[in-house]
Amino acid sequence: MTATGVLLMAYGGPGSLEDIPAYLLDVRGGRETPPSLIEEISERYRLIGGRSPLLDITQRAAGALSRQIDLPVYVGMRHWHPYIAETVSQMTSDGIGRVIGVCMAPHYSAMSIGAYRKRLEEALAAQDHVVELCFVESWGARPAFIDALTSNVLRAMLRFDDATRPGIKVVFTAHSLPKSILDHGDPYVEQLAETAHLLAARLALPDDRWMFSFQSAAQTGSPWLGPAIEDVIPELAAQGERNVVIAPVGFIADHVEVLYDLDIEAQRIAGEARIRVERIPMLNDSPALIDTLAGIVRDQLAAAEVEP
Is 108 within 8 Å of 41 (Cβ atoms)? no
Q: What Å distances lie between residue 197 and 66, 109, 209, 213, 249, CA to CA?
A: 32, 19, 12, 13, 12
pLDDT digits (tens, 9 = 90+) for 39-93: 999 999 999 999 999 999 999 999 999 999 999 999 999 999 999 999 999 999 9
Q: Residues 9, 120: contact at Cβ < 8 Å?
A: yes
Predicted pLDDT of residue 308: 34
Q: Measuring CA to CA, how many Å separate 191 from each of 29, 113, 289?
A: 27, 13, 19
Produce one character per residue of 133-162: b if its CB has 16 or more CB atoms within 10 Å, e if not.
ebbbbbbbebebbbebbbebbeebbeebee
DSSP conformational letter for 17: G
Model pLDDT, residue 306: 53
- Going from N- to C-terminal start, the domains of the chain cover 4-139+286-306, 143-279
Q: Which residue type occupies 123?
A: A
| Same fold for the pair 4-139+286-306 and 143-279 | yes
Q: Quick one: which of 270, 305, 285 has its CA closest to 68? A: 285
Give the distance, in angstroms, between the CA of residue 72 and the centroid of all CA atoms in the same chain: 22
For 238-264, the pLDDT digits (tens) are: 999 999 999 999 999 999 999 999 999
Q: CA 119, 256, 32 angle in degrees (round to 5)?
A: 60
Enter the CATH code of domain 4-139+286-306: 3.40.50.1400
Low-confidence ranges of the chain (pLDDT < 70): 306-308
User: Residue 247's beta-bridge partner residues?
Assistant: 172
- Could you tell me which of 198, 117, 182 has the C-alpha nearest to residue 150? 198
Domain 143-279 belongs in CATH node 3.30.360.10: no
Angle between helices 143-157 and 188-202 (to 10 degrees): 60
Phi, psi torsion values for 284, nearest 5 degrees: 50, -120
Per DSSP, the three-state class of 273 is helix
Q: What is the pLDDT of residue 259?
A: 98
Q: Which residues pair with 174 in a beta bridge?
A: 214
Closest CA to 104 of 64, 61, 155: 61
- Cα–Cα distance measured from residue 233 to residue 252, given in angstroms and rounded to the nearest whole number: 22
